[in-house]
Structure 1
Amino acid sequence: MRLVLGLTALLCSLTDSLQQPCKSPPYLTGNLIVGEGKIWNYEYNAALQRMRVYETEHHTNQTFTYDYLLHFREGVMYEIDGQTFTCTKKPLRTEYQPIGIPHDADYLDNFVLGSLSVPKAGISMQAWTGYTSGGEEYSMCVTEEGCVPYYTIYNTEKYGEVVLVFMNSTMHTTPQDDLNPPRFCPNTKSAARPVDLVSLFSKSKARLLTRTLTKLKNVYLNDYTVLNVHV
């Protein structure tokens, strides 16, 4: 019995060691849910190692757009405002790349999302884990067929656990966009502190909190117009 268990454990370990990280589709577009349900749009170009994340918010007759271009290979990020035609170029920390299983990731297991006992009711998934270049743990889950990203979780020291869930992803055989910055973006990199993908989502949350606090302050000062109501 011990021999059987030993052989089983050995076979499992060999299977894990032989499991190689899959390659995600080179060109993807879709939606990205971050943290507490905020939905972003994303575009991904693996050949150029570029990603765009953007969203639009509507608050009291005002529209706020957040648009970021992340060039991982070049190590730069562009923060774009298409309404005012302004753009800021900042240095980019590249340890957070949520699409594509890193070559040094460790295979965890396969599992079924849903049920395979009913036709079209389930899908086989792969789970991987590892550490970023900064020493922070991550876990990734992709489809077994196609290596399409499903979720990425970062356990960060600064922001805690950050969860990114990919939805409505569409695979493309050719790039939809080279994800080049607009012409009004500067060529020179600013001296600002380096940013990363995770901090962008936290920055968006902070802006929303600031607007909410401003509204509460105006209500306290009897300026109810910010709530778009009549008194």
Structure 2
Amino acid sequence: MQAAFWLTVGLLCLTVEGLAIARKPQPCRSPPLFRGTFTVGSQNEKFGAVGRFAYDALQQRIHLGEMGTYNNKSYTYNTLFLFEESVMYEINDKEQTCVKKALQSDFHPMAVPKGATFVSQVVLGSSSGPGQGLLVNNWWGNVPGQGNYMVTFSEFGCYPVSSLSQTKEFGWMSVSYFDNVLGAEPHWFIPPPFCADAELVESEDGKVTDFFSAFH
């Protein structure tokens, strides 16, 4: 009888342990095609912005439209990144002008970075009732030469929720994503007609533009 009792306890422990392992969140990748809204802010208050984005991992394209402040000066920015063509377009719809620049940057899918460590799983909002909260996973990591970061993705769908990363110029940078919608219209990724005659130019400092400079 005792043997049967301890065998049952042992099996229950193994079952609980197995469920815990099975439930541990695993690194994920966002849907290949979606759009949404974002806000960006820096620790030193030198930079802040709000805007919309469209993301296409299938053909490696990203479109950013934002407005904000940089060093106490207001700006608007409309940028299309075409990674497969290694070019980016800075688009001014009001003036009907377009600047085409070389893009030297690999496409990085929206996903939990390789090497990131799982930190915690929490509910944003409330878990008291259906539809009252969002289940998310927090991940922590380090980029050599740059600093630490923390990213948060939804448990279901793997949509980005927020990111926090260290930078040399701004200190900690915070990005929040919201109103994500699956899919994106093709026109988001097509340069407007007035960009057809744009010639490839270098950036003002003579360096080839990369993706992350778009946030500066």
Q: Give the TM-score taking structure 1 as reference length.
A: 0.65
Query: Who is 2:140 aligned against?
Result: 129
Q: 1:159 to 1:56 in 2, by over 3 A?
A: closer
- Which runs of structure 2 are paired with 1:10-25 in the superposition (5 Å)? 15=21, 19-25=25-31
Using the alignment, how far apart are the partners of 1:54 and 1:188 within structure 2? 22
* Pair 1:55 & 2:66 matched: yes
Query: 1:65 Cα deviation (Å)?
Result: 4.5
Using the alignment, how far apart are the partners of 1:105 and 1:197 within structure 2? 21
Query: Who is 1:89 aligned against?
Result: 100
Q: Which sections of structure 1, spanning at least 5 residues, go unmatched? A: 1-10, 58-63, 203-231
Q: Give the TM-score taking structure 2 as reference length.
A: 0.69
Identity of aligned residues (%): 32
Q: 1:165 aligns with which of 163, 176, 188?
A: 176
Q: 1:47 to 1:136 in 2, by over 3 A?
A: farther
SS of the equivalent of 2:158 reads coil
Query: Who is 1:210 aligned against?
Result: none
Q: What per-residue deviation string (whole Å, max 9, x for no partner) do you get for residues 114-161 of structure 1?
A: 221233211210112334476443221010000011112221122221
Q: Which sections of structure 2, spanning at least 5 residues, go unmatched? A: 1-16, 69-74
Amino acid at match of 2:185: Q
SS of the equivalent of 2:215 reads helix
Using the alignment, how far apart are the partners of 1:200 and 1:157 within structure 2? 16
Query: 1:38 Cα deviation (Å)?
Result: 3.1
Q: How many residues align?
A: 184
Using the alignment, how far apart are the partners of 2:168 and 2:109 within structure 1? 17
- Which runs of structure 2 are paired with 1:1-231 in the superposition (5 Å)? 15=21, 19-35=25-41, 38-55=49-66, 65-92=76-103, 94=105, 99-132=110-143, 135-172=146-183, 175-177=184-186, 179-185=189-195, 189-192=200-203, 193-202=207-216
Using the alignment, how far apart are the partners of 2:118 and 2:165 within structure 1? 16
Amino acid at match of 1:177: P
Using the alignment, how far apart are the partners of 2:186 and 2:171 within structure 1? 33
Amino acid at match of 1:162: M
Amino acid at match of 1:83: K
Q: 1:93 to 1:121 in 2, by over 3 A?
A: farther
* Structure 1 residue ranges (4+ consecutive) displaced by more than 6 angstroms after TM superposition: none
Write 1 or 2 for the structure with the bigger share of strand.
2
